[in-house]
Amino acid sequence: MKLVCSKSKLLSGVQIVSKAVPNKTTMSILECILIDATEGQIKLIANDMELGIETIIEGDIIEKGQVALDAKIFHEIVRKLPDNDVTITTDSSYKTNITCEKAKFNIIGKSGEDFSYLPSIERIDSIIVSQFTLKEVVRQTIFSIADNDNNKLMTGELFEINGDVLKVVSLDGHRISIRKIELKDNYPARKVVVPGKTLNEVSKILSGDADKDVSIFFTGKHIVFEFDNTTVVSRLIEGEYFKIDQMLSSDYETKVSINRKELLECIDRATLLVKEGDKKPIIINITDDVLELKINSTVGSMNEEIDITKQGKDLMIGFNPKFMIDALKVIDDEEIDIYLVNPKAPCFIRDAKEKYIYLILPVNFTTVS
């Protein structure tokens, strides 16, 4: 094999597919990136058997062939090459030369025959969204997936399609994040649970361009994202997702309308007094026209008042400040509505059309001094 391409295009491609290289594996071939130049295109592929990424890069194929190269070494070599054209040649024993200007590297490659290509997925059932929309909806929900495998379903996000609406849901047992997106067309009803890791990696690769689309294909066991010259294939998480609708209530005893930025900055200031790992709640005391925010910790105490518009009863309730901050950071509205029932019931932050809903469970603050 012999091919020539620019360092910038090669590096971009390597960085994209590296996201599917496993950190630990007993199969050394999975630690590699496959360069496949057998069919007139330069394809870079990585696959950890759960997530596979393939991207096509521009360049000239002088001699067809393929080779699997250690991903970490290959990435570091390409990253540190001069900004010029890179020539990659491989002989019959997979010894690979990488040259750029006066820099010459010789590394030992592996046969591509043992490499696990991306599974062949029939592309029938699909939806189309803009790159901007997908990147945003992941950013606005991914923080509330669980970060351990105690319940596999909690480590993924529900993608539920109904007609021309895509609903994306994540939860970790303490909070729920829901975003609804209007699609350009009507699609058959479908529910799948996509691993959070997949969505994180896809989100990093997406340009976020509102004028560029992503085609998302579904099968019984896989989801495929196609955009630009990149294909991402991921296994789905099997099992029935939680019955979210049973957890959502439109009943409330207290409704607060408040400036989002003001509340976010106030909670952010309060966390200055919370040591890492310390589970001190913020206490919110709602009375007529004023929300008072208080925190007591081993470091000190703080209280601050924010003007609000209130409907319903006065209420005092405690929350994990991080959960409130995570939700407030990803809402774009200037004014938000918070719905509460009592100190033991979850609060809801949602807009009138319910394009976003954030449910946060309160915490007990009776022991706070």
Higher pLDDT, 27 or 269: 269
At residue 276 the predicted structure's pLDDT band, cuts being 50, 70 and 90, is confident
Phi-psi sector, 163: left (phi>0), alpha (psi -120 to 50), beta: left
Structure-derived torsion over alpha carbons of residues 105, 111, 115, 117, reported in degrees to the nearest 10: 90
Spell out the alpha helix ranges (H) of the chain.
7-18, 71-80, 131-139, 196-205, 260-270, 321-329
pLDDT in tens, 221-233: 999 999 999 999 9
Output the pLDDT for position 369.
Answer: 42
Both tokens of residue 357? 């809903």
Q: CATH code for 125-242?
A: 3.10.150.10
pLDDT in tens, 13-63: 999 999 999 988 888 899 999 999 999 999 999 999 999 999 999 999 999
Q: Which residues pair with 284 in a beta bridge?
A: 293, 317
What is the rounded average pLDDT for all residues in the chain? Answer: 94
pLDDT at 126 over 80: yes
Q: Which residues pair with 100 in a beta bridge?
A: 103
* Separation between Cα atoms, residue 239 and residue 152, nearest integer Å: 9
Mean pLDDT of 347-351: 97
What residue spans define the domains of the chain?
A: 2-114, 125-242, 248-360
DSSP 267: H
At residue 298 the predicted structure's pLDDT band, cuts being 50, 70 and 90, is confident
Identical topology for domains 125-242 and 248-360:
yes
What is 2-114's CATH superfamily? Answer: DNA Polymerase III, subunit A, domain 2 (3.10.150.10)
pLDDT at 368 over 60: no
pLDDT at 159 over 80: yes
Tell me which range, 110-114, 124-128, 358-362, is most confidently predicted by mean pLDDT. Answer: 358-362
Mean pLDDT of 117-134: 90
Q: CATH code for 248-360?
A: 3.10.150.10
One-letter amino acid at 124 equals I
Output the pLDDT for position 367.
Answer: 46
